[in-house]
Chain A
Amino acid sequence: MRAGRLLPVALISAATLAYEVLLMRLFSIIQWHQIAYMIISIALLGFGASGTFVALARRPLVKRYSTAFAASAALFGITAVASFAGAERLPFNALEVVWNPGQLGWLAASYALLILPFFFGATCIGLAFSRHPGQIGRVYAFDLVGAGVGALGIIGLLFLVFPSVALRYIAALAFAAAALAATGMARRRRFAAGSLWLAAAVVAVWLPPSFTATAPHMSQYKGLSLALDVPSAQMVEERSSPLGLLTVVASPSVPFRHAPGLSLANTQEPPAQLAVFSDGDGITAMTAYSGDPATVAYLERTTAALPYRMLARPRVLVLGAGGGEQVLLALRAGANIVDAVEINPQMIDLARNRFAKFIGGIFSLPHVHLHLAEARAFAASAGERYDLIQMPLLDSFSAAAAGVQSMHENYTYTVEALRDYLAVLKPDGIVAVTRWLRAPPRDILKLFATAIAALDADGVSQPGRHLALIRSWNTATLLVAKSSFSSEDVAAIRAFAAENFFDVSWVPGISASDVNRYNQLDQEYLYEGALALIGPERADFTERYKFNIVPATDNKPYFFDFFRWQALPELLKLRTQGGAAMLDWGYLILAATLVQAAIISAVLILLPLWLRRRALGSAVPRLRFGLYFFALGLAFLFIEIAFIQRFVLFLGHPLYAVAVVLAGFLVFAGLGSTLAARWVVAVGSGSAVRGITLAVVVIAFLAGSYLLALPVIFERLLILPDAAKIAIALLLIAPLAVFMGMPFPLGLGHIGACSEEFLPWAWGINGCASVLSAILAALLATHIGFTGVVTIATILYLAAPALLAGSWYRHDQRTSQGSISNLNRSRDKRNGPSRN
């Protein structure tokens, strides 16, 4: 067989994976980030349903293989564009769900639409395996290389074109695959191939941009939409990369005047500003600057300005440069040297080049240095030299309020992160963190608890002497000092707060009579919380608090997850009276997604199989076999998702982590499957259980070693360049993934040997488990951390062989005389894509 015959497989595989990653990007723009997990489960649902479909309709489809492949690929191309275009036009408003549960219907409708392209993409691959049973290894190689190239290629492509354009290229790629496949058709092959090539060209070049444009369909409640509703406001620049869509907006008639945490004592109006929105939200301002620090004097009346009262000519590190607000403040406050770190190269380009003149060239000043780096990575490479580390407020208040980031891994606010920052401070240095103030307080108390944990871990005996906390009506700033505050420091903090009508909620030597003066709360939970967290009541207070304020760690990096089940009934009861504002929707939406996915996957995957159960036979103990494949589905995705989340720290961004880990697991698990299949052919399927046992023991050993070694490895290698880190990530994933690729095909071989009819069940059950596992892993990680998730996966793997072992001797004998059937093998190999 010529390699050209398999090229369509690689192309469709690449298109499907690229589409999955791209959808996450697209939905982050029009909705919010937590949709990403839903996309993973949507994709798996499509794959699972297709597995069932191919299992049931194999014969007629394989007979007309070229036509069926071309049609399915073309349908992928059509639905990839049409489903997204349809889904983005649905009037779904996530914010309204609390008032109108009917909104969930629209969510279900988007699910239904978006499953289609994944279904058709997976059907192509499934057909290819069924059609070429003797060439499984090669089909698999094309499939996996395609998938890997797709997952990584889309990242590269997104640096070059906007996501809406990338979508058209993916569709064109699918049509090209269809056209190539059509050349194998028995009749009308020229006509079919010709028109499919034409379709590819039309989609890539002539499709009206408005069809897939995201801008008109962005939620009208996102910051960018609101800003553009203002008269004469207009977009002046737009930059897109895999890290996000940056939109610069000018609003000449109604200036932005973005200055969170500004004191009521301030009388100065902020200068002209350009707003930069990231994925339509999270505003950062670029402020017009003439070089005269007096024009930005208002910044000295924000809570974030507090540390400058105690530091003379400090060397400052700003983590998250954004549009440069904190750099301006540092300049105004007479900083000696400013290092500003920014993770997004396009933000750097905007601030340092495109709008350099507008912001007065602050990033080109001799004592200001702008670095392209991730905060933790930069801190890891910096020496002990800073007087101040500023962590400014970069997310929008509404994003924080809606809890949209609650399931988002964040490695900037963990205990380990704070320790890293403290490590690069001079002995008298200070870390300053500013957050929005919510009522009742959540972020700030968690931050306070995190700081205490970091100081404890550094061996500080009286953490309370190293902490200060002030608040305005809408922001709070926490100072964490490397050495304890002196009495002059304390006096300076008190004076600064009084001048600006800010309240002091914690400072060494504080008493109850000092608090709640200017911005009065019903009850000063910040002070009371700080007092309890510093004292012996810490555990009791944390336990009794109705929000989760347990410090975030690298193992459980969910700083923004405040959800506790025990508070849910009360908050739901109070939802129409403000209770809804206290709920962390990210968690609940994920939990709802789990329930939804369980139902849909049962309907799409298990129901058709159950209806055809007679044809499947009942001679085998379905329950135990079923559990085996269920356990494998859960365990594989548990490890994969935990790795994605864990590698966010190492690779610096969720999207990099998804693409690299996905690609790594695909390729190496595929390799493992191939090795396992060859091994079975060599030794006979009778020894499958032996092979499985060997594989799971190795998996358990490797998973255990990684749990211990990864934090250390990351710590050491964080400073390496991105390309090196990607290579290292793939190297780390390789051995584990190779062995994780084995139990599935070995299990299929074993079962196929006793009941070929059970194979579609195995396929379907495994698909279902994968769907649930992707979401469950994310939920579990917030409770038990990655360590817990990986441990559960290891236990599942170790238990799995026992489910197969037992009285299959008769069957083993029957087939040990020959090799496993073609059907079995075709099933084995389809396993790969279902697992991404």
Chain B
Amino acid sequence: MRPLAQCQALMAAVLASAAAVVSTSAPAQDRLGERAAMIETIKSHARSAPSAVEGQGIDPAVLEAMGKVPRHLFVPEEQRGEAYQDRPLPIGYGQTISQPFIVALMTDLINVGPRDVVLEIGTGSGYQAAVLSPLAAKVYSIEIIPELGERAAARLAELRFDNVEVKVGDGYYGWAAHAPFDGIVVTAAASHIPPPLVEQLAKGGRMVVPVGGPFATQFLMLVEKRRDGSITTRQLLPVAFVPLRGGRAR
């Protein structure tokens, strides 16, 4: 190859990657202020939800990740104005993109570390996977509805969440090829927890399941597999609510 051509090719590659940087960083810079306000809301909620928040509030790394994900690109166009309000939004097919506060709690609860592999059942808009992406080594996500799964996969690829892999299929059997998982997030409602998912959870791993209707999370269920393989579950309320008047304030 002639030097000039080489030079041109190099130039083109540089330009292309620069363009890629511009196209991916632009959305991340959009609506920064609203995202910062959203993080503040999450923090203030977290201060009053002692049950679901362990230790000193939500892990700053989780909040940092959420501060970088352009949530408005994960919601339908007509909902973009409300994207940073602390509320769930409809995304079609009877599904919702979860409330930011709930996303923060769930992400915080599974304690993701940089070497961890995480499985998500129910990709939906892809927002939860995007938040997990910078925190984990690899995120696998399964969506049952092809249109949602394909859309989310394309969106995540476009925004360069490169360590997220989405497939369309039945989440019941998990993703045995990549098991065990250090964390599992089950956002798709089920009458029971699929045994294969419990099986694919690593020892010391954590699974979180939000329980409730599409617009109202009742509680979060945390499934922990101890080092000895025993399973315990915990029900965590996203809110400090004591059902007994004059009862113990905590």
Q: Do A and B bind each other?
A: yes
User: Looking across the interface, which residue of chain B has its beta carbon closest to that of A231?
Assistant: B146
Q: Which residues of chain B are within 8 angstroms of A261 by Cβ–Cβ distance? A: 192
Q: Which residues of chain B are within 8 angstroms of A547 by Cβ–Cβ distance? A: 243
On whether the beta carbons of B235 and A473 are closer than 8 Å, the reply is yes
B247 at the interface (CB under 8 A from A): yes
- Provide the bound-state CA to CA distance between A267 and B193, in Å: 10
- Provide the bound-state CA to CA distance between A518 and B101, in Å: 27
B151 CB to closest chain A CB (Å) equals 14
Q: Which residues of chain A are within 8 angstroms of B238 by Cβ–Cβ distance? A: 577-578
Main secondary structure of the interface of B (DSSP, over half): loop
On whether the beta carbons of A95 and B192 are closer than 8 Å, the reply is no
B216 at the interface (CB under 8 A from A): yes
On whether the beta carbons of B218 and A522 are closer than 8 Å, the reply is no
Partner of A544, one of B191, B217, B239, B245: B245
Q: Which of A222-230, A239-247, A371-379, A724-732 contacts B (4 or more CB under 8 A)?
A: A222-230
Decide: A580 near B245, CB < 8 A? Known: A229-B93, A520-B232. Answer: no
Partner of B218, one of A230, A257, A268, A578: A578
On whether the beta carbons of B145 and A440 are closer than 8 Å, the reply is no
List residues 559-614 of chain A with CB under 8 A from any CB of chain B.
566, 570-571, 574, 576-582
On whether the beta carbons of B231 and A264 are closer than 8 Å, the reply is yes
Q: Which residues of chain A are within 8 angstroms of B234 by Cβ–Cβ distance? A: 519-521
Decide: A525 near B243, CB < 8 A? Known: A259-B191, A518-B232, A519-B233. Answer: yes
On whether the beta carbons of A267 and B195 are closer than 8 Å, the reply is yes
On whether the beta carbons of B245 and A522 are closer than 8 Å, the reply is no
A545 at the interface (CB under 8 A from B): yes
On whether the beta carbons of A230 and B172 are closer than 8 Å, the reply is no
B60 at the interface (CB under 8 A from A): no
Q: Which residues of chain B are within 8 angstroms of A522 by Cβ–Cβ distance? A: 51, 235-237, 250
Q: What range describes how many residues of A lie at the interface? A: 35 or more
Partner of A579, one of B87, B93, B241: B241
On whether the beta carbons of A402 and B213 are closer than 8 Å, the reply is yes
Q: Which residues of chain A are within 8 angstroms of B245 by Cβ–Cβ distance? A: 544-546, 566
Q: What range describes how many residues of B lie at the interface? A: 35 or more
B27 at the interface (CB under 8 A from A): no
Partner of B247, one of A254, A258, A474, A544: A544
Q: Interface digits, B193-221 against A, CB 8 Å rule (1 contact, 0 not)? A: 11100110000000000011111111101
On whether the beta carbons of B192 and A262 are closer than 8 Å, the reply is yes
Can you add 6 more A-B contacts, CB < 8 Å, to A261-B192, A266-B192, A582-B218? A93-B90, A95-B216, A260-B192, A518-B231, A519-B234, A574-B239
List residues 121-174 of chain B with CB under 8 A from any CB of chain A.
144-146, 170, 172
Decide: A577 near B216, CB < 8 A? Known: A99-B88, A220-B93. Answer: no
Nearest first, the 4 A-B pairs at minimum CB distance are A262-B192, A581-B216, A440-B243, A577-B239
Q: Which residues of chain A are within 8 angstroms of B250 by Cβ–Cβ distance? A: 522
Which has the most chain A C-beta neighbours within 10 Å: B99, B145, B241? Answer: B241
A310 CB to closest chain B CB (Å) equals 24
Q: Which residues of chain B are within 8 angstroms of A269 by Cβ–Cβ distance? A: 172, 195
On whether the beta carbons of A259 and B192 are closer than 8 Å, the reply is yes
On whether the beta carbons of A519 and B235 are closer than 8 Å, the reply is yes
- Provide the bound-state CA to CA distance between A517 and B230, in Å: 12
Which has the most chain A C-beta neighbours within 10 Å: B145, B213, B231, B237? Answer: B213
A360 CB to closest chain B CB (Å) equals 21
List residues 647-663 of chain A with CB under 8 A from any CB of chain B.
none
On whether the beta carbons of B198 and A264 are closer than 8 Å, the reply is yes
A675 CB to closest chain B CB (Å) equals 52
Partner of B233, one of A100, A258, A518, A571: A518
User: Looking across the interface, which residue of chain B has its beta carbon closest to that of A399?
Assistant: B213
On whether the beta carbons of B243 and A578 are closer than 8 Å, the reply is no
Q: Which residues of chain B are within 8 angstroms of A195 by Cβ–Cβ distance? A: none
Supply 13 A–B pairs (Cβ within 8 Å), ascending by A: A96-B215, A226-B93, A257-B190, A262-B191, A264-B231, A439-B211, A519-B234, A522-B51, A522-B235, A544-B246, A545-B243, A578-B218, A581-B212
A438 at the interface (CB under 8 A from B): yes
B147 CB to closest chain A CB (Å) equals 9
Decide: A578 near B191, CB < 8 A? Known: A254-B144, A544-B246. Answer: no
A285 CB to closest chain B CB (Å) equals 9
On whether the beta carbons of A229 and B243 are closer than 8 Å, the reply is no
A541 CB to closest chain B CB (Å) equals 8
A398 at the interface (CB under 8 A from B): yes
A701 at the interface (CB under 8 A from B): no
- Provide the bound-state CA to CA distance between A638 and B109, in Å: 52
A792 at the interface (CB under 8 A from B): no
On whether the beta carbons of B213 and A578 are closer than 8 Å, the reply is no
Q: Which residues of chain A are within 8 angstroms of B215 by Cβ–Cβ distance? A: 95-96, 98-99, 221, 580
- Provide the bound-state CA to CA distance between A281 and B220, in Å: 23
B158 CB to closest chain A CB (Å) equals 24
- Provide the bound-state CA to CA distance between A95 and B95, in Å: 12
On whether the beta carbons of A226 and B94 are closer than 8 Å, the reply is yes
B76 CB to closest chain A CB (Å) equals 13
A501 at the interface (CB under 8 A from B): yes
User: Looking across the interface, which residue of chain A has its beta carbon closest to that of B221?
Assistant: A473
Decide: A577 near B235, CB < 8 A? Known: A229-B145, A231-B145, A266-B195. Answer: no
Q: Which residues of chain A are within 8 angstroms of B87 by Cβ–Cβ distance? A: 99-100, 576
On whether the beta carbons of B86 and A576 are closer than 8 Å, the reply is yes
A807 at the interface (CB under 8 A from B): no
Q: Which residues of chain A are within 8 angstroms of B191 by Cβ–Cβ distance? A: 257-260, 262, 397, 474
Q: Which residues of chain B are within 8 angstroms of A98 by Cβ–Cβ distance? A: 215-216
Decide: A95 near B218, CB < 8 A? Known: A229-B145, A576-B86, A582-B241. Answer: no
On whether the beta carbons of B172 and A221 are closer than 8 Å, the reply is no
A487 at the interface (CB under 8 A from B): no
